[in-house]
A and B are shown apart, each in its own frame.
Chain A
Amino acid sequence: MTVTHNEHAESGHHEAPEVVDGRQRLGIWLFIGGDMISLGALLFTYLYLRGVNSGGHWMSIVGMPSKGITSAGPDTFTPTTLVEQPMASGLNWLIVLVVVVSAALMWLGEKRLRASVNGRGAFRGYAAAATVTAVVGIVLQVMQVRNVPQYWIQSNDSALFAYTSYGSVVLAFGISAIIHFVLLVLLGAGLYVRAGRNVLSYEKWYQARLVRFFWVWIAVSTIVTAIVVTLLNTVH
């Protein structure tokens, strides 16, 4: 390999922001790609369990509603087959709406930041609004997770809490969403603070775009999940 020395090559510490941005953009897309595979694995889980419907237990379980247990404890209950209904789709789509609005706010904020030297204040406002909206998303998602029905089931000589397989995957989607929304809140708060300290500005807006990529991906993943969970929930 023949090598000549490039006297004009730039040191790693003096790379142009565009160069660093290009690298970070690829990095964030690769991370999003990994996240897509994770979501794909969860969707595969959902569709697989729905498809095989083991023992007819996709949405049914042999047990007793958890709210029916009294202080007498589970020893007294007689297990019966309980059939669950799909969870109300309204809350699901409300969460989608909130996250989409949140992503839109972040996108608008980024546009304002890039549009003019005076856009930093507006960006902070949009970032704060997007972050607060993501917090609302977390609250709604927690509500949904708490609404997934739990049952008492008999296992050997003891009674245990359990979810149907449908409930299990909805729970997994919910917990995954909460983790992602928490990330959004942290990133949004970080951008807000950084813009306040003038680290993000009209000239230095690249990180806002990186965060926006992730934000929009989360919105898209929420939509995809909602479509699958609300349209493909019953076995037949």
Chain B
Amino acid sequence: MTSTIEHSTVSAPALGGGIYRRLNFGTALIAGVVFAVIAWWIAHSLLDSDGRGFSDQVMVITAVGWVVGFELGIGAFTSIGKWFTGRDQTHADEMYLAGKDAGQARYWRFTTDHKVVGVQYIVVTMILLGAGGLLAMGIRTNLLSPGNHFVNQQIYNSFLSVHGMLMILALIVAVAGPWANFVVPIMVGARDMAFPRLNALSLWTLVAAIPLLLGSLAVGGNDMGWVTQAPISNQSGVGFDLFAMAIITFTVSTTVAGVNTICTVLTMRTKGMTLERLPIFVWASSIAAALGLYAFPFFLVVMSLNISDRMNGTSFFIASEGGTGWLQENLFWLMGHPEVYVILLPAVGALLEITTVFARKPLFSYRTSIAGMAGLAGLSVLVWAHHMFTTGWAPALGGPFMVTTEMISIPTGIIFLVLLGTLWRGNIWMRLPMYWVFGFISNFIVGGITGIYLSDIPVDNQMHGTMFVVAHFHYVFVGSVLFGAIGALCFWYPKVTGRFLDERMGKISFWLVFIGTNVTFLAMFVSGLRGMPRRYSSYSSIFEHTNAVSTIGAYVIMAGMLVLLGAVISSWNKGEPSGPNPWGSKTLEWLVPTPVPLENFEVLPVITEDPYTYGEARTNS
């Protein structure tokens, strides 16, 4: 290879330096499979096949083998190994890891450049959304008419569980993954994330989790729903073990990513980038990351205990042996509700960023919006029991939890007012990203207000476990977070590719997704109000029409998402060139060249003004 480099004018990666420079996604898959098979064989050989939870133990050990092998195969442990042997990375190693002169190959390997990791996250998010969306189509097709058996009940339940978890994972990373990686370091004036290797580790750990989650479908699935309700989860097959191991793996990924984001923002800001000059998206990402650090350890613990009950004979959640299902619910929702805001805040931050740029106005009440986000995060850790109003757990606490849940509408309303205040009398430039902002405003009103209904105990007693709840949280996740994620994609796409996302296809996509979302979930509200329970694969004929409408709406959403996918792919190389700052934005990521150089800035900038000093003439694209 050395001679090739010497005689070639084309930049090519220098492959010297040992085996770790030959590791990539392919070697990761091979190593993952090999280690999984070895782990499976060892487990089969050493464990007592008549013992309690033998199958679960084998499955968990196999999953661990897969993750370890995959990480070894991608090169995630190379730096750690070098640290232990006292042979730290050289500058050449660092440049290799950063993907210097590596061309497209850097997207297929353990690359530390935050922009590459951001693009990798875009692809991973699309895969997660695509897989979760296909399962949603399966679910909705099954519910097209009463007694329709597109899939059997066991598969239907597994579809529900895996769809739920895939979408939750997708939305957790949908904004924070691509954009907290790609733009946040540039926005704060840094050359990279605080811990570039941990950054790549978080991405590839997430990638390692996906086959576990999808693989759970192949080994019987998890028919307990995404909340993995105990003690009934003990009755699920080994698919549950893979499902839980996927979550445990994911919690490692997201914890690492959260630490990295916070450290980057707190310690790597360039001179003059005070906390009061941080773009609002940076605030949103940081608060979400901090909230994630609080929430996800609960996820790790509850899944570990769930697996332990299945394979070790422990009794955390088994009432007949001294445990209680309420413990599982508490631990799960201690994570589960803050997680909603881990998902929501980055999307809101991105939409606020878009709004101020396209309304050509300073962000309305910058400090208040930060206080609103902090208030959301703070209150979100005090509301978890509203998910348990109907379970009989601690009825005396119902009132306080109802109040805290209703109080959370205050910071939410504040953020909403900031958004509207920024739009108010703005010189609004209706380009593609703004469509998603207006879609968000419309949908989030519905999702938010129905949440206030459900926080009320008497209403919740009627609505809990119905399709009304499903419609509510889909308005929040699809109608709000997904809209925020797509808006962010449309907004920052020119910075990633140097080209505009096809405006015409993007608008077609918007209208399809917007109409589809409202058709699907408004009809679902009606199903819920009529009393249709959630998680049922078959239903009474009185719910037929609303379900048919919901299914048609879901197909329309899927069509819109496919159009968006087409736009993303076709615009990547053939879109209209955008230049470095097509929107005339004033935040730092738009002031660097496109494509962004390896270390972002030739010399680090010094910031002397706030980020949103708009009001001057608009820059045309």
Do A and B come together as binding partners? yes
Residues of B within 8 A of A52 (CB): 324, 326-327
Task: Give 1 or 0 for each of B146-186: 1 = CB within 8 Å of chain A CB.
Answer: 00000000000000000000000000000000000000000
Partner of A3, one of B87, B312, B606: B606
- B-side contacts of A193, CB under 8 Å: 84-86
Against B, the Cβ 8 Å flags (1 = close, 0 = not) of A185-198 are 01001100110110
Q: Name the residue among B87, B305, B313 with the largest chain A CB count within 10 angstroms.
A: B313
Chain A 100-130 per-residue mask, 1 if CB under 8 angstroms from chain B, else 0: 0000000000000000000000000000000
In chain B, positions 585-605 with a C-beta closer than 8 Å to chain A are 586-588, 591, 599, 603-605
In-complex Cβ contact of B327 among A2, A22, A49 (8 A):
A49
Stretch of A88-96, A167-175, A221-229 contacting B (4+ beta carbons < 8 Å): A167-175
Q: B605 — nearest CB in chain A belongs to which residue?
A: A3
A63 to B286, CA, bound (A): 51
Contact B315 A163 (CB under 8 A): yes
- Chain B, interface size category, equals 35 or more
State in angstroms the CA–CA spacing of A1 and B591 once bound together: 10
Contact of B191 with A by CB under 8 A:
yes
B591 touching A3, Cβ below 8 Å: yes
**Given A13-B91, A41-B297: A165 and B321 interface contact (C-beta under 8 Å):** yes
A9: B residues at CB distance < 8 A: 270-271, 603-604, 606
* Nearest CB on A from B44, distance (A): 19
Which of A53, A58, A199 is packed against the most chain B CB atoms within 10 Å?
A199
Contact of A168 among B293, B314, B613 (CB under 8 A): B314
* In contact, B588 and A11 (Cβ under 8 angstroms): no
Contact, CB under 8 Å: A23 / B267: yes
Kindly state the separation between the CA atoms of A168 and B296 in the bound complex, as whole angstroms.
22
Q: Chain B contacts of A168 at CB under 8 A?
A: 308-309, 314-316, 322-323
Using a CB-CB cutoff of 8 Å, which residues 566-621 of chain B contact chain A? 586-588, 591, 599, 603-611, 613
Inter-chain contact A48/B330, CB cutoff 8 Å:
yes
In the assembled complex, A143 has its CB within 8 A of some CB on chain B: no
List the one stretch of B67-75, B115-123, B258-266, B547-555 in contact with chain A: B258-266
A69 contacts B by Cβ under 8 Å: no
Contact B608 A4 (CB under 8 A): yes
Could you say which of A5, A26, A167, A168 has the most chain B C-beta atoms within 10 Å of its C-beta?
A: A168
Query: Is A41 a contact of B331 with CB atoms below 8 Å?
Result: yes
C-alpha gap A131/B113 in the complex (Å): 35
* Chain B: CB-nearest residue to A151: B313
Q: Does A7 contact B (CB under 8 A)?
A: yes
A196–B605 alpha-carbon span in the complex (Å): 40
Which of chain A's residues have a CB closer than 8 A to the CB of B83?
A: 190, 194
A10-37 at interface with B (beta carbon < 8 Å): 10-13, 19, 22-23, 26-27, 30-31, 33-35, 37
Known: A3-B591, A13-B91. A171 touches B606 (CB 8 A): no
Please name the residue on chain A nearest to B86 by beta carbon. Answer: A197
Given contacts A1-B586, A3-B588, A167-B314, 10 further A-B contacts (CB under 8 A): A3-B607, A12-B191, A41-B302, A45-B301, A52-B327, A59-B322, A61-B321, A162-B52, A163-B314, A165-B316
Give me 30 A-to-B residue pairs in the complex whose CB atoms sit less than 8 angstroms apart, sorted by A's number.
A1-B591, A3-B591, A5-B606, A6-B606, A9-B271, A12-B190, A23-B263, A27-B195, A27-B259, A30-B258, A33-B293, A38-B297, A45-B301, A48-B330, A54-B324, A57-B315, A60-B322, A153-B321, A162-B321, A164-B322, A165-B321, A166-B322, A168-B309, A168-B316, A168-B322, A171-B308, A171-B314, A193-B84, A197-B85, A199-B88
